[in-house]
Amino acid sequence: MQTLFYIADLFGVAVFAITGALMAGRKSMDLFGVLVIAVITALGGGTLRDVILGNHPVSWIRDDTYILVASLAAVGTVLWVRLTRPIHETGLLIADAFGLAVFTVYGTEVAMRHDVPLSTAVIMGVITGVAGGVMRDIICNEIPLIFQKEIYATACIAGSLVFVALLGVGASHGVATVLAMLVVLLTRLSAIRWHLALPSFHLLDRDKA
């Protein structure tokens, strides 16, 4: 199972690196800029999680496969776009949703291995899922997806809670992983398709009321 989680983590790294490369392409960055944004997007969330949990050295320092996968995914994205055609923004959002699903569940699993409270495990899952994308968007001068109207972090919370709950009732690790990832993915894709959002909080100006 650890081998499968490792492969899933590398898949998430590749997917998030693709979203970083696509965002850098939208900003017309050079190849070095593309690589930097891709690596930050792919590894930022896991790095922050490991630092908070005291899991040292962080994953990409222990294993340079992470840097290699992120770099290859970024370069591959550049070549694909140049040889075919630009990827529509919807493609960026869908790729981001896949990475979000993988990283959320993996981050929750890593935290649980550190015997933290379940609430902390859920928070670590969310951080793993969203932090890299937040860093990407801030560097690229975009409003982070987590702060936009459509459901984003809520999808991570839902998937992480499903993962913890299924393991708690005795479900197999594989079943819990797949179902939790599906919850994140389907929730996020549904939000994109139908523009689902949580209720907004509007503070009325008493002088104008």
| Mean pLDDT in residue range 44-49 | 96
pLDDT above 60 for 10: yes
pLDDT above 70 for 207: no
Average pLDDT of the chain to the nearest whole number = 91
| Residues 6 or more apart whose Cβ sits within 8 Å of residue 40 | 20, 132, 135, 136, 139
The whole-angstrom separation of Cα 150 and Cα 74 is 26
pLDDT digits (tens, 9 = 90+) for 105-150: 999 999 999 999 999 999 999 999 999 999 999 999 998 888 877 7
pLDDT digits (tens, 9 = 90+) for 166-198: 999 999 998 999 999 999 999 999 999 998 988
